Amino acid sequence: MIRYYTYENGIMTEITEKKDGCWVSVINPTSAEIKQLIEGYGIDSGFVKSSLDEEESSRIEREDEQTLIIIDSPVSSMDSSDTQIFYTMPMGIILTEKNVFTVSLNETQIINEAVKGTIRNLRPELKTRFVLQLLLRIAAMFLYYLKQIDKISSLAEQQLHNAMKNELLMQLLALEKSLVYFSTSLKANEATIEKIFRGRVIKLYDEDQDLLEDVLIEMKQAIEMANIYSGILSSMTEGFSSVISNNLNIVTWRLTIVTIIMQIPNIIFAFYGINTVDLPLPYTWFPIVLACVTTAVAAFVLLKWKKN
């Protein structure tokens, strides 16, 4: 799907065809659309292929008069077991002499926000500033999702004490895996932004210098947060496993006590039920009283032992 947008009257407006200074949004293109990008718009075929590769890492590359910036953006979704997972998806930003193209295999939140005007003053004709604003928003999205991960882990920690099931443990493992993805992508994004910061790949303007520094600061902050949360989650996961094991041991101990206590009346009634000679007070009431007293004493001793 190929769509064209321009900045008019203070808002992002969709237009019917490409013109100079517009933004071309390409999402999951068909073979015909890929051919149109390469042959009709003169986009480098390698740039298009790299932008549509799910395994492509963040980087920046220049070929002739075109510049490719591949940046990883964060994504959140629910898997089949209703566990919230976080991962990253590459998005290609291709700068040509007159236009800026964004190419991705799937629709992302950053594209939706750009189209809806959530990102203020996003003007495609100012290509460098357009790219930096997208990068700043991606860095902000990383920080937002990292805070979501922290909230989910804090909620799981509150439910930790009485946990005996594996659902929370699986959630923590999924979060830990997500943080690995985030850390890897953030470091690659940081390297790409630092290359842009040197000003050798795309033209930088004085008025954009502060914006680029903000992007780099936000990305470094996200990297630091990801490392901190990763360490916390790793320790929490180990402690969570120990708590589950300990809670199961407590339940097993309680069941063992109940089993022992319930066996005492069976033993007493068995002796009196087989007509054993010379048993004391061979009357019906005596084994009942004996069983009750013995069971009460055993329960008191075992429970007191458990508390100690």
What six digits make up the tokens of 269?
Answer: 């009634």
Query: What pLDDT does residue 308 have?
Result: 47
At 18, which CATH number? 3.30.460.20
Same domain, 259 and 243: no
**Domain end point (choices 218, 247, 276):** 247
Convert the pLDDT of each residue in 249-302 to its tens digit: 777 877 888 888 888 888 777 777 776 666 666 666 777 888 888 888 887 877
**Domain end point (choices 203, 218, 247):** 247
**Res. 162: pLDDT tops 80:** no
CA 51 to chain centre: 22
Same domain, 263 and 232: no
Q: How far apart are CA 160 and CA 265, in angstroms?
A: 38
Query: What pLDDT does residue 287 have?
Result: 74
Q: How far apart are CA 21 and CA 117, in angstroms?
A: 17
Alpha-helix runs per DSSP H in 159-208: 167-197
Q: Which among 121-135, 193-207, 269-283 has the top mean pLDDT?
A: 121-135
Q: Which of 195-204, 207-216, 220-229 has the lowest mean pLDDT?
A: 195-204
Mean pLDDT value across residues 31-37:
89
Q: What is the mean pLDDT of the chain?
A: 82
Q: How far apart are CA 48 and CA 7, in angstroms?
A: 25
Which one-letter amino acid corresponds to residue 177?
K
Same domain, 83 and 139: yes
Same domain, 70 and 216: yes
Same domain, 63 and 188: yes
Same domain, 51 and 156: yes
Same domain, 130 and 149: yes
Q: What angle do CA 293, 296, 299 make, to 5 degrees?
A: 150
What six digits make up the tokens of 257?
Answer: 């006590």
Band (76; pLDDT cuts 50, 70, 90): confident
CB atoms within 10 A of CB 195: 16
**Res. 179: pLDDT tops 80:** yes
Same domain, 38 and 172: yes
Same domain, 121 and 267: no
Q: Which of 183, 175, 181 is nearest to 153 (CA)?
A: 175
Query: What pLDDT does residue 165 have?
Result: 60
Which one-letter amino acid corresponds to residue 51?
S
Mean pLDDT value across residues 191-206:
78
Mean pLDDT value across residues 98-108:
88
Query: What pLDDT does residue 203 have?
Result: 75
Query: What pLDDT does residue 160 have?
Result: 63
Per DSSP bridges, beta strands 59-63 and 100-104 are unpaired
Mean pLDDT value across residues 85-114:
88
Same domain, 237 and 256: no
**Res. 131: pLDDT tops 50:** yes
What six digits make up the tokens of 206?
Answer: 């004085």
Same domain, 166 and 66: yes
Q: How far apart are CA 52 and CA 92, in angstroms?
A: 8
SS3 (DSSP) at 101:
strand
**Domain end point (choices 232, 247, 262):** 247
**Which structural domain range is residue 154 located in?**
2-247
Q: Which of 48-57, 152-161, 220-229 has the lowest mean pLDDT?
A: 152-161
**Res. 78: pLDDT tops 80:** no
Whether the pTM exceeds 0.85: the reply is no
Number of domains in the chain: 2
Classify 155 in phi/psi space as left (phi over 0), alpha (psi -120 to 50) or beta: alpha
End-to-end, the C-alpha distance of the chain in Å comes to: 70
- State percent of the chain over pLDDT 90: 2
Query: What pLDDT does residue 305 have?
Result: 67
**Res. 40: pLDDT tops 60:** yes
Burial of 13 (0-12, 13-18, 19+ CB in 10 A): middle
Same domain, 191 and 129: yes
